[in-house]
Chain A
Amino acid sequence: MTARTTATILRRDIAETVATRRQSTRLRVYPAPAVKIFVIGAGQVGTTIVEALHGEHDVTVLDLDPARLAAISQRFDVATLEANGASRRALADAGVRNADLVLACTSRDEANLVAGTFARLEAPRATTVIRTSNVEYIELWRQGQLDVDFVVSSEIETAHAIARVIGVSAAVQSDVFADGQVQLVEYDVTEGASREILGRPLREATVPPDSRLAAIIRDGTMTLPRGDDAILPGDRIVVIGSPRAATAWGKVLAPWEAEVEDVVIFGAGRVGTAIARQLLEQGIGVRLIEENRERARVVAEAFPRARVYNASGLDPDFLERERIGYADAAVFAMREDAKNHYVATLARIHGVTFTIAIVHDAISRQVYQHAGIDVQVDPRQVTAEEIVRFAHDPRTQQVAMLENDRFEVLDLTTRPTSEYVGLRFREMPIRGALIGAIVRDGQAVFPRSDDTLQAGDRVIVFTESERVPDVERVL
């Protein structure tokens, strides 16, 4: 199968994926009582957050720019305060000690980190979330050295969004957890699936490593599969596993569909390299094109498995010489939207059939759409969505909903008092829930039946919606 037809199939899948996602809204709105939320920073991320939360919650927005605050207070019913979020006194004066949730989402990493730290001092019980693009901060947070509850990075969220679009070709819907280390994918099983998996009892089937079959949905009923169950054509299955395993499942279930092998990324800045890292992690080949010679060298040294070109996407000879048109997909992640627009158009002329562009200015989305760019990803939008997620259950890091809210995937941290702690996975009573993966010390582990659950493990649980309270209680 040629690259072109693959891309066409891919595009159709994405259209479906995007549609499914829109319907089932990944954001779960808990019927929780209104909480008091502080948003520090009234930029595009802050505004998007306010838009999502102002309805049910008591929101206060802090920013130094009165014009931005005025714009927000005109649109939404929220309190605004012209104050420096990175000042402890200003935070105290603003009454942060009554807050339940503090979201620091200015465009400056350091200001967010300071604001998060001060908020923790002023309001020890509040959940703090900071936005940062600094990889070092993210690593520190993963090691538990940064005293904030959650860290959200625009670059990484953008990379996840793009990887969801191009990563798993046979998927109906897919979601990532634990910073992309765990992936949840829904697949429709057809007659064309590999015989190694189809119709065989699961204990005999060859299941890709580092993954768990979480559920089989057949004729509208979900079963948590056991060793003697089998996957049949027409089933919809839910798999939890590593990004690589997700790709492997896609290959087993749709062997006829050529794998995405070659993605060209224009612009090797922070967003471009974050996308490259995520795609490489899924085993997808990446070509990076960067105009700046020094930056190209640094990126080439940092990514041994990617191919890096020091060239301009505006150079048609280069596009022709390197056969950019043969790529399965092209991502335009340069800093200027106008350039992304132009280069994407040029790439389409050269035969690239599937294009994804990063939106920096809100208006660019429409321009891109008009120019025929297939997918537009707005890093601020994605980041805001991610931050809003934390506004719900402070303990739940991420919630995904499947099959029109009948099933949910929870990302929970186990309490030391949980009755499951210390149990082996095979000894756990089945209560309509399944632990697909655990995140221990920042690393995703895909448990075997004789592993034990430990206090403080982050667990990715798949369950029916009505059992969510039970699961949250026992863990």
Chain B
Amino acid sequence: MTNDRRRATARRTPRLAVDLRDALGLTGTLVKYLSASALVPAGVAILYREPFWPFLAAGAIAFAAGLGLERLGRHSHGVGFREGYLVVALTWLLAAVFGAIPYLLSGEPQLDGPVNAFFESMSGFSTTGASILTNVDTVDHSLLLWRQFTQWLGGMGIIVLALAVLPRLRVGGRQLLDSEMAGPETDPLADRIRTTARRLWLLYIALTVALAAILVVFGVVGVDHRMGLFEGVSVALATMPTGGFMPTSGSLADFAAASQWVVVVFMLIAGVNFALVYRALVRRRWRSVGADEELRLYLGILLVASVALVAEIWSDGLAEGEAALRHGVFQVVSITTTTGFASTDFGTWATFALMLLLGLMFVGGSAGSTGSSVKVVRHLLVARSLRRELRQTLHPEEVMPVRLNGLVVQEKTLRGVVAFVLLYIGLFVIGAGVVAVDTAVQGPTISTIDAIAAAATSLGNVGPGLGVAGPFGSFASYPDVSKLTLAALMWLGRLEIIPVVVLMTRHYWRVR
């Protein structure tokens, strides 16, 4: 081969390993279709005689941006394995930007700056539920519903929705779905991804409708006087995605005990693998569902933590009888499933209770649920790997496969799980450090432990933190750097870290 030819071949090799045009094209398509979601709050605005143009304008901007990206890139319905990560990360980032536009355009004074609006929007799409709003009651209904609706969209996932609804969208096989769905291995409901995505969304919609109907009926028959149609729908839209936004101040504290118990049940379901929920509710295979090891551990953790918390608040005299039981169980389920609702201002509880709840932020829901954080199955697999390592020190030659539900877990999956947990801890430490330093520079209102809780609650997509950012408080007083850091943690947490972090590596962009 001559030197000239070699040079010619070298020139033809693209410097970038990622096909940017493909990735941007698909991202544009996804954003373009997502812009249609602005019609929902616009409709609500018309209903409540509130200004609807911020939503239409936001929709138009997103549509134009999507169209622009689509034109800029290649109009593509399929991307490769490598591009998939960029599509997922970028789509979610742009979704949060799009979600922030109505807050800015509406001129709502509490969400005036772009940082505040972006924080609120990312908190919505990532189903975190941490809010800037200090007084919810003065905010327009349509804006509040938009908040709830972004959570609902973010819960089951934008790309899963696109897969279910959009025609001829073939986004890189399972990998896109896997990077948006929670857990180390998603359990397919059907052979075809499209069918899986449809079943997931239908089940999700059905559960949301069921919860809204129950709550609205409670309001109508007088079980819960504060529960109207708007409140009932809002609660349902934030419960199923384990979101945690509320259109009323004081979260769920002012609603009736019956409503709170119903919400506990649905939070519990939202934290279960939807494949299991589908098998239980649709296929009625209760026995196989009941034998699931992740589900058992999930319920076990909830039970033990609830007992501990109920005992703590009862003995502290914060509540008694049914109220103690309800507040204990509610807070444990809400924090563990990463919903973030509160049935009472638990920010005033004793240190033990707060530390327990802070710890539960790292548990998370089950794989394949809408809950975030580390997830129960990863705790289970890490524990089993560690047990194996300990046994291996005594029996170096023994071959010990790690099993889950009787099936052998691939070593590759185990490595991925351990890597995830380490990355999770690493990001939490970095995030907490940045927030702690930043808030300390700004003044003494936010303690270091509050900063740590803020990082934990953001990365875990939980919602409430400690101190001023407690369940009835807000993140308004956090400085801008902290807000952006927390928003980044939410983004990382929702996409389960890897799709975002992999973009930061040199190998992602370069061939060699």
A220 interfacial by beta-carbon distance below 8 Å: no
Partner of A300, one of B395, B399, B406: B399
Query: What residues on A are CB-neighbors of B397 within 8 Å?
Result: 309-311, 318, 322
Q: Give Cα A297 to B398, complex, Å.
A: 10
A301 touches B398 (CB 8 A): no
User: When each residue 385-414 of chain B gets 1 if its CB lies under 8 Å from chain A and 0 otherwise, what string results?
Assistant: 000000000011111110100101000000
Query: What residues on B are CB-neighbors of A309 within 8 Å?
Result: 395, 397-399
B399 touches A304 (CB 8 A): no
Query: What residues on A are CB-neighbors of B403 within 8 Å?
Result: 304
Complex interface residues of chain A between 274 and 328 (CB less than 8 A to chain B)? 296-297, 299-301, 304, 307-311, 318, 321-322
B398 touches A304 (CB 8 A): no
Q: Which single residue of chain B is at the shortest CB-CB distance from A308?
A: B399
Query: What residues on A are CB-neighbors of B401 within 8 Å?
Result: 297, 300-301
Query: How far does the Cβ of A288 sit from chain B's closest Cβ, in whole Å?
Result: 9
Interface size class of B (residues with CB under 8 A): 10 to 19
> When A301-B408, A304-B406 are in contact, do A310 and B395 touch as well, CB less than 8 Å?
no
Q: Give Cα A307 to B392, complex, Å.
A: 12
Q: Give Cα A406 to B408, complex, Å.
A: 51
Q: Which single residue of chain B is at the shortest CB-CB distance from A290?
A: B399
Query: What residues on A are CB-neighbors of B406 within 8 Å?
Result: 304
Q: Give Cα A371 to B43, complex, Å.
A: 91
Q: Give Cα A415 to B398, complex, Å.
A: 51
Complex interface residues of chain B between 346 and 403 (CB less than 8 A to chain A)? 395-401, 403
Query: What residues on B are CB-neighbors of A304 within 8 Å?
Result: 403, 406
Complex interface residues of chain B between 55 and 113 (CB less than 8 A to chain A)? none
Q: Which single residue of chain A is at the shortest CB-CB distance from B391?
A: A307
Q: Give Cα A322 to B398, complex, Å.
A: 10
Query: How far does the Cβ of A267 sit from chain B's closest Cβ, in whole Å?
Result: 15
User: When each residue 311-353 of chain A gets 1 if its CB lies under 8 Å from chain B and 0 otherwise, what string results?
Assistant: 1000000100110000000000000000000000000000000
Q: Which single residue of chain A is at the shortest CB-CB distance from B406?
A: A304
Query: What residues on A are CB-neighbors of B398 within 8 Å?
Result: 307-310
Quick one: which of B400, B401, B403 has the most chain A CB within 10 A? Answer: B401
Q: Give Cα A296 to B400, complex, Å.
A: 10
Interface size class of A (residues with CB under 8 A): 10 to 19
Query: What residues on A are CB-neighbors of B395 within 8 Å?
Result: 307, 309, 321-322
Q: Give Cα A308 to B391, complex, Å.
A: 13
Query: What residues on B are CB-neighbors of A308 within 8 Å?
Result: 398-399
Quick one: which of B397, B401, B403, B408 has the most chain A CB within 10 A? Answer: B397
Query: How far does the Cβ of A467 sit from chain B's closest Cβ, in whole Å?
Result: 46
Query: How far does the Cβ of A428 sit from chain B's closest Cβ, in whole Å?
Result: 36
Query: How far does the Cβ of B337 sit from chain A's closest Cβ, in whole Å?
Result: 31
Query: How far does the Cβ of B408 sit from chain A's closest Cβ, in whole Å?
Result: 4
Q: Which single residue of chain A is at the shortest CB-CB distance from B397?
A: A311
Query: How far does the Cβ of A139 sit from chain B's closest Cβ, in whole Å?
Result: 20
Q: Give Cα A128 to B219, complex, Å.
A: 76
Q: Which single residue of chain A is at the shortest CB-CB distance from B395?
A: A322
Q: Which single residue of chain B is at the shortest CB-CB distance from A289?
A: B397
Query: What residues on B are CB-neighbors of A300 within 8 Å?
Result: 399-401
Quick one: which of B399, B400, B403 has the most chain A CB within 10 A? Answer: B399
Q: Give Cα A308 to B400, complex, Å.
A: 7
Query: How far does the Cβ of B260 sit from chain A's closest Cβ, in whole Å?
Result: 43
Query: How far does the Cβ of A140 sit from chain B's closest Cβ, in whole Å?
Result: 24
Q: Give Cα A275 to B398, complex, Å.
A: 19
Q: Give Cα A309 to B401, complex, Å.
A: 11
Complex interface residues of chain B between 393 and 450 (CB less than 8 A to chain A)? 395-401, 403, 406, 408
Q: Which single residue of chain B is at the shortest CB-CB distance from A297?
A: B399
Q: Which single residue of chain B is at the shortest CB-CB distance from A309?
A: B397
User: When each residue 1-41 of chain A gets 1 if its CB lies under 8 Å from chain B and 0 otherwise, what string results?
Assistant: 00000000000000000000000000000000000000000
Query: What residues on B are CB-neighbors of A299 within 8 Å?
Result: 399
Q: Give Cα A88 to B399, complex, Å.
A: 47
Query: What residues on B are CB-neighbors of A321 within 8 Å?
Result: 395-396
Query: How far does the Cβ of B403 sit from chain A's closest Cβ, in whole Å?
Result: 6
Query: How far does the Cβ of B71 sit from chain A's closest Cβ, in whole Å?
Result: 51
Query: How far does the Cβ of B411 sit from chain A's closest Cβ, in whole Å?
Result: 9
Query: How far does the Cβ of A198 sit from chain B's closest Cβ, in whole Å?
Result: 40
Q: Give Cα A310 to B408, complex, Å.
A: 17
Q: Which single residue of chain A is at the shortest CB-CB distance from B398?
A: A309
Query: What residues on B are CB-neighbors of A307 within 8 Å?
Result: 395, 398
Q: Give Cα A272 to B406, complex, Å.
A: 22
Query: What residues on B are CB-neighbors of A322 within 8 Å?
Result: 395, 397
Query: How far does the Cβ of B295 sit from chain A's closest Cβ, in whole Å?
Result: 20
Complex interface residues of chain A between 157 and 183 (CB less than 8 A to chain B)? none
Query: How far does the Cβ of A61 sit from chain B's closest Cβ, in whole Å?
Result: 44
Q: Give Cα A308 to B395, complex, Å.
A: 10
Q: Which single residue of chain B is at the shortest CB-CB distance from A318?
A: B397
Query: How far does the Cβ of A327 sit from chain B's closest Cβ, in whole Å?
Result: 15
Q: Which single residue of chain A is at the shortest CB-CB distance from B396?
A: A321
Q: Which single residue of chain A is at the shortest CB-CB distance from B399?
A: A300
Q: Give Cα A446 to B88, complex, Å.
A: 59
Q: Give Cα A301 to B402, complex, Å.
A: 9
Query: What residues on B are CB-neighbors of A296 within 8 Å?
Result: 399
Query: How far does the Cβ of B292 sit from chain A's closest Cβ, in whole Å?
Result: 17
Q: Give Cα A311 to B399, complex, Å.
A: 10
Q: Give Cα A340 to B398, complex, Å.
A: 21
Q: Give Cα A107 to B398, complex, Å.
A: 33
Q: Which single residue of chain A is at the shortest CB-CB distance from B411?
A: A297
Q: Give Cα A321 to B269, complex, Å.
A: 49
Q: Give Cα A299 to B400, complex, Å.
A: 10
Q: Which single residue of chain A is at the shortest CB-CB distance from B394?
A: A321
Q: Give Cα A296 to B397, complex, Å.
A: 10
Q: Which single residue of chain B is at the shortest CB-CB distance from A268?
A: B399
Complex interface residues of chain A between 204 and 231 (CB less than 8 A to chain B)? none
Query: How far does the Cβ of B415 sit from chain A's closest Cβ, in whole Å?
Result: 16
Q: Give Cα A309 to B403, complex, Å.
A: 17
Query: How far does the Cβ of B397 sit from chain A's closest Cβ, in whole Å?
Result: 4
Q: Give Cα A96 to B352, complex, Å.
A: 85
Q: Which single residue of chain B is at the shortest CB-CB distance from A322?
A: B395
Query: What residues on B are CB-neighbors of A301 within 8 Å?
Result: 401, 408
Q: Give Cα A299 to B398, complex, Å.
A: 12
Q: Give Cα A304 to B401, complex, Å.
A: 8
Q: Which single residue of chain B is at the shortest CB-CB distance from A311?
A: B397
Q: Give Cα A301 to B396, complex, Å.
A: 17
Q: Give Cα A398 to B450, complex, Å.
A: 77
Q: Which single residue of chain B is at the shortest CB-CB distance from A304?
A: B403
Query: How far does the Cβ of A276 sit from chain B's closest Cβ, in whole Å?
Result: 14
Q: Give Cα A322 to B396, complex, Å.
A: 9
Q: Give Cα A322 to B399, complex, Å.
A: 13
Q: Give Cα A307 to B388, complex, Å.
A: 13
Q: Give Cα A296 to B399, complex, Å.
A: 7
Query: How far does the Cβ of A36 sit from chain B's closest Cβ, in whole Å?
Result: 50
Q: Give Cα A297 to B403, complex, Å.
A: 13
Q: Give Cα A318 to B394, complex, Å.
A: 11
User: When each residue 173-208 of chain A gets 1 if its CB lies under 8 Å from chain B and 0 otherwise, what string results?
Assistant: 000000000000000000000000000000000000
Q: Which single residue of chain B is at the shortest CB-CB distance from A296?
A: B399
Q: Give Cα A46 to B291, complex, Å.
A: 49
User: When each residue 198-241 of chain B gets 1 if its CB lies under 8 Å from chain A and 0 otherwise, what string results?
Assistant: 00000000000000000000000000000000000000000000
Query: What residues on B are CB-neighbors of A297 within 8 Å?
Result: 399, 401
Q: Which single residue of chain B is at the shortest CB-CB distance from A293?
A: B399
Q: Give Cα A310 to B396, complex, Å.
A: 9
Q: Which single residue of chain A is at the shortest CB-CB distance from B403?
A: A304
Query: How far does the Cβ of B134 sit from chain A's closest Cβ, in whole Å?
Result: 56
Q: Which single residue of chain A is at the shortest CB-CB distance from B407?
A: A301
Q: Give Cα A229 to B478, complex, Å.
A: 86
- Other than A297-B399, A301-B408, A304-B406, give 17 A-B pairs with Cβ distance below 8 A: A297-B401, A299-B399, A300-B399, A300-B400, A300-B401, A301-B401, A304-B403, A307-B395, A307-B398, A308-B398, A309-B395, A309-B397, A309-B398, A309-B399, A310-B397, A318-B397, A321-B396
13 residue pairs of the A-B complex, CB under 8 angstroms, read A297-B399, A300-B400, A301-B401, A301-B408, A304-B403, A304-B406, A307-B395, A308-B398, A308-B399, A309-B398, A309-B399, A310-B398, A322-B397
In the A-B complex, list the 4 residue pairs whose CB atoms are closest, starting with the nearest: A311-B397, A300-B399, A309-B397, A301-B408
